């Protein structure tokens, strides 16, 4: 689930997986069977095709509609694929061209252009179980723009995704990036005052996103080596994570159970069921390492300036009061090592905001089931168990 769902955090990433998977075609019956079978197995979505034209190695899908799991269908029109060849019961496709798409939803209009997929490999059997069952591709989207009530709300210059098999055929390396993000959050439905939006310059927010990961199917080792959100004049957040136990069997079972719960209303019973489901699957994983790091780009001091303005305090007074509130809340957890590390790091960071890093580096991989049990029964031992370290300005 991690391998594919990581690429679905934004609407753009949903699009690129869609377009990468729109390539199953050489004859009518076969394209629908393998395309929908593969999408259900690895994504949970589906497509419908009016008809299919084949001219040599060029295949055109007519009147394509893509339906994400639990959502309304999106009309793509005609999709052209060139350099199509059958290989081992599956297909390789040199290039896929998708027409520009406009999506209208109430007061929001999204225009997506520059859609293409290169070097797509479609497996003969996409029931995710080994390296031969994994999609590989190079996808591009952009520019993309969104209008809200007629005003430009959001845009990106380009989004690119690459998924390739390792030379040793033991796993898959993936990357995903979004460049040239520009957003006017004054048009978003956010519980933030107009004064705060102006103070932090959120009416012209510029950002970039990038992700790199590696998945070894046989061992289930998943390494998220980069997950970065870079916000201009705010800061850069980066997450790294290494887990074991993310095997194809784990993915397929988790995805099947998750699929059975989509489309249902999130009442309290549903929320509880989803929580227990997530907890049950997390228990099957092993933590190798993790890191969350924030590199400040003037946001922290501006936040204290904003707070001090309303509280009639100096920046230093606001910082000190906020630090005390954090440490008081941490003390209630009853984890002395956490409070000690956080106290030193928070004071250093607020005094001179550069970076704040939370890392977990256990001496040996730790089963998440053990972490959960310790958190329930002896949470003061958690920092030592996972090798927790909190540092500032390093």
Read off the pLDDT of residues 130-150 as tens digits, 9 standing for 90 and up: 888 887 889 899 899 988 877
Q: Check whether 23 has a pLDDT greater than 80.
A: no
Coil/strand/helix, residue 394: coil
Read off the pLDDT of residues 155-179 as tens digits, 9 standing for 90 and up: 999 999 998 999 888 899 999 999 9
What burial class does residue 30 get, using C-beta atoms within 10 Å of its C-beta: 0-12 exposed, 13-18 middle, 19+ buried? middle
pLDDT, residue 129, reads 81
- H/E stretch holding 163 reads strand 158-165
pLDDT, residue 8, reads 39
Omega of the bond leading into 143 within 30 degrees of 0 (cis): yes
Please give the model's pTM, rounded to 2 decimal places: 0.81
**Angle between the N-to-C axes of helices 368-377 and 268-282, in degrees from 0 to 180, rounded to the nearest 10:** 120
pLDDT, residue 127, reads 77
Read off the pLDDT of residues 266-288 as tens digits, 9 standing for 90 and up: 667 766 766 776 777 777 899 99
pLDDT, residue 341, reads 92
Q: Check whether 291 has a pLDDT greater than 90.
A: yes
pLDDT, residue 187, reads 67
Which of 18-32, 195-209, 210-224, 296-310 is the most confident on average? 210-224
Mean pLDDT, the chain, integer = 82
Q: What distances in angstroms separate CA 141 from CA 25, 58, 95, 147, 331, one per listed residue?
A: 21, 22, 14, 18, 48
The mean per-residue pLDDT over the stretch 354-381 comes to: 93
Pair 182, 205: CB distance under 8 Å: yes
Burial 341-365, CB ≥16 within 10 A → b, else e? bbbebbebbbeebebbbbbbebeeb
């Amino acid at each position: 689930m991690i391998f594919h769902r990581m690429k679905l955090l934004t609407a753009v990433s949903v699009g690129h997986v869609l377009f990468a998977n729109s390539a199953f075609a050489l004859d009518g019956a076969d394209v629908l069977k393998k395309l929908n079978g593969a999408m259900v197995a690895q994504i949970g979505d589906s497509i419908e095709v009016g008809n299919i034209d084949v001219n040599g190695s060029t295949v055109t899908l007519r009147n394509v509609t893509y339906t994400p799991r639990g959502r309304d269908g999106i009309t793509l029109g005609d999709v052209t694929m060139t350099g199509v060849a059958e290989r081992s019961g599956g297909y390789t496709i040199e290039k896929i061209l998708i027409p520009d798409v406009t999506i209208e939803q109430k007061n929001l209009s999204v225009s997506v252009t520059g859609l293409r997929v290169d070097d797509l490999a479609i497996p003969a059997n996409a029931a995710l179980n080994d390296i031969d069952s994994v999609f590989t591709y190079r996808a591009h989207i952009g520019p993309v723009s969104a209008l809200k009530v007629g005003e430009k709300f959001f845009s990106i210059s380009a989004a690119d995704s690459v998924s390739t098999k390792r030379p040793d055929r033991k796993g898959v390396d993936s990357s995903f990036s979004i460049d040239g993000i520009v957003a006017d959050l004054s048009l978003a439905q956010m519980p933030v005052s107009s004064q705060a939006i102006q103070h932090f310059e959120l009416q012209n927010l510029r950002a970039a996103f990038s992700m790199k990961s590696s998945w070894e199917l046989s061992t289930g080792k998943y390494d998220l080596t980069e997950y970065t959100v870079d916000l201009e004049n705010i800061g850069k957040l980066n997450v790294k994570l290494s887990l074991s136990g993310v095997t194809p069997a784990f993915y397929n079972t988790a995805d099947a159970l998750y699929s059975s719960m989509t489309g249902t209303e999130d009442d309290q019973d549903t929320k509880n069921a989803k929580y227990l489901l997530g907890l049950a699957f997390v228990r099957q994983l092993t933590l190798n390492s993790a890191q969350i790091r924030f590199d400040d780009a003037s946001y922290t001091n501006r936040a204290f300036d904003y707070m001090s303005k309303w509280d009639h305090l100096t920046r230093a007074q606001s910082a000190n009061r906020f630090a005390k509130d954090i440490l008081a809340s941490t003390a209630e957890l009853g984890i002395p090592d956490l409070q000690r590390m956080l106290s030193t790091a928070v004071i250093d960071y607020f005094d001179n905001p550069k970076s704040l890093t939370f890392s977990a580096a256990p001496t040996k991989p730790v089963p998440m089931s053990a972490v959960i049990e310790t958190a329930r029964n002896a949470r003061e031992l958690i920092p030592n168990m996972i090798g927790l370290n909190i540092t500032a300005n390093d």
